[in-house]
Amino acid sequence: MTLLANSAPVEVPLPDPAVFDELDARNHALWAAARLEHVSENSELVGFRRESLRTSHAARLAILCEQLAAASNEKIRRMRQSQLDNAVADFARHMAELDIAEAQVDIHAQPVAYGVMVVERGTNE
């Protein structure tokens, strides 16, 4: 992008349109490979996050269930049950967020410019 920002127009003949079609096809193949790799890496990361969430949720539930079982006062039992219900809802919400994050992963590509770039040796060399 720096090259484009610092460029100046020049008059050169454009190559045959087939050359641009070939470049588009090559770019598409590179994009498709990068997208597959990105989707795979994201899926692996989401898997790690899911497993971490399951582990922490199980530990949280164990503590809350223990506290609920130990409570004898009805108001405390209702409070502990509410905490337990909130923990289950919180877990479901986070799992849904991970599902959405995994489903929406993508790499977007769009052309920035079409043309020919002439590269000349600089005077600083």
Could you read off the pLDDT of 22-67 as tens digits, one per residue? 988 999 999 999 999 999 999 999 999 999 999 999 999 999 999 9
What's the first-to-final CA gap in the chain, in angstroms? 22
pLDDT reported for residue 114? 74
pLDDT reported for residue 123? 65
DSSP label at residue 109:
-
- Rounded CA-CA distance 7/35 in Å is 30
pLDDT reported for residue 6? 80
**pLDDT at residue 78 tops 60:** yes
Q: And the tokens for 46?
A: 């989401």
| Cα–Cα distances in angstroms (integers) from residue 38 to residues 14, 16, 21, 108, in the given order | 34, 34, 25, 11
Q: And the tokens for 29?
A: 């193949």
